Amino acid sequence: MRVSRGAGASYWVLLFVAVALASLLTYSAVTAMQTGTAPSASGSQQALIGALESQNAQLQKELSAKSPQANGSIVSLDPVKIYQQDSASVVTVQGVQASGFSNSTVLGSGFVTNITGSQYVVTNYHVVQGVTDLTVTFHDGDAYPATVVGSDGYSDLAVLSLVAPASEFHPLQVVSSSQLVVGEPVVAIGNPFGLSGSMTFGIVSQLGRTISESLAGSFAIANVVQFSAPINPGNSGGPLLDANGDVVGITTAVVASSQGVGFAIPSDTILKEFPALVTTGGYPLHPFMGITSVDMDYQLAQLQGANVTYGVLIQNLTQGGPAAKAGLIAGSRTVQVQGVSYSIGGDIIVSVNGTKIVNTDALSSYLAEYATAGQTVVLQIIRDGHPMTVDLLLGTRPPAPSA
């Protein structure tokens, strides 16, 4: 294709002007920030300027600082650095599981931590459930026999102990997951399909999810982190890391036939349960209300004659359970909505201790994060269209499955 000389000259003039304008804008932003003549930039703005001005040593130091940082950005994420500092802490968990007349090999992931001052490996309960000949393989290929010192099927957590040289242990820092926000970048390191030391990254897609796993029986695993980093079989038990390379969760599940949807047990659950797991072998303080429920919506509100379209509608009560003792009322009339049966007429839970409850996920996540068995909570409910409060003494769940 031929291009006229005049057109080519115009192209280079326009290009020069664009580059000059971009440089001027960048210089002005940095100068303003350094001299204090403009309002202080947000974390994401600082990260963007840092990417544009790589020679700004002070800004680079702030972005790579190890101090806790709640709201990272994709620009501030350094996957290479995170992998270099954390990959040696990720291990392969392997064992043998009886299956009919034959045995099968189970592979999963785990990571080293020293939350209580001693070295342990944290993994998922479903990785070690019913497994014999358990071993842990470190990043250098050295493998050692391991034993389960504590597990909790309700949270899909297990803690392993093993005897190995001190040089094998590279503990990760476990920080609170309470500061996670949707959109924050996260990194997962694990062993999908036995491919050790594999790394993926994405963002936090949502918080406060609940997932159902057979090992937890009729109870949902609550307050789960949903994220977009691709994970596969074998990733289970590996760490979910923030932009600082600190543990904010433990990868636990992926939805079959989906892409970009993974789940992790939040690190707050690990921090809360860890002392009990290593000292008593389990976690006996999961709260129990003794109800089954469904999410309120517009159609159910119309059928019930309620003035709220959010909250948790009680379907059934456990006989003699905490909710029944507190005087809560279950539904008494069955209706059909789009082919699904519901029991209406019961109480609608709309808040717990002043925290708004939008749906069943929110109720389960609140109890998982803030409540324990033996604690009294204040429920605000709607009964026959009228608000009222009820004090409820939380009970204890039946013992969880153990490894």
pLDDT grade for 240, boundaries at 50, 70 and 90:
very high
What is the CATH class of 287-396? mainly beta
C-beta separation of 390 from 326 below 8 A:
yes
pLDDT value at position 70?
46
Residue 249 in 3-state DSSP? strand
| Domain 85-168 homologous superfamily, CATH | Trypsin-like serine proteases (2.40.10.10)
Please write the tens of the pLDDT for every residue from 343-360.
999 999 999 999 999 999
pTM: 0.76
Q: Which residues are 293's β-sheet partners? A: 314
C-beta separation of 304 from 312 below 8 A:
no
DSSP 117-158: SS-EEEE-HHHHTT-EEEEEE-TTS-EEEEEEEEEETTTTEE
Please write the tens of the pLDDT for every residue from 52-92.
334 333 423 433 343 344 456 666 788 899 999 999 999 99
What is the C-alpha to C-alpha distance for residues 282 and 298, in angstroms, rounded to an integer? 41
Residue 253 in 3-state DSSP? strand
Q: Check whether 257 has a pLDDT greater than 80.
A: no
| Cβ neighbours of residue 403 closer than 8 Å, sequence gap 6 or more | 125, 128, 129, 130, 131, 148, 151, 158
Task: Judge whether 85-168 and 287-396 match in fold.
Answer: no
pLDDT value at position 195?
85
* Helical segments of 174-294, H only: 267-280
| Domain 185-267 homologous superfamily, CATH | Trypsin-like serine proteases (2.40.10.10)
Task: Read off the tokens for 128.
Answer: 């070690």
pLDDT grade for 248, boundaries at 50, 70 and 90:
very high
Nearest to 156 by CA among 114, 126, 131: 126
Burial pattern 26-36, b for ≥16 Cβ within 10 A else e, equals eeebbeebeee
Which H helix or E strand runs over 378? strand 376-383
pLDDT grade for 234, boundaries at 50, 70 and 90:
confident
Task: Read off the tokens for 51.
Answer: 């990417």
Residues identified as active-site:
126, 156, 236
Helix axes 5-35, 43-52, angle to 10 degrees: 130
Q: Check whether 224 has a pLDDT greater than 90.
A: yes
- Give the C-alpha distances (Å, rounded to integers) separating 32 from 19, 57, 114, 170: 20, 16, 44, 42
C-beta separation of 131 from 151 below 8 A:
no
Spans of all domains in the chain: 5-75, 85-168, 185-267, 287-396
C-beta separation of 204 from 260 below 8 A:
no
Q: Check whether 281 has a pLDDT greater than 80.
A: yes
Which H helix or E strand runs over 21? helix 5-35
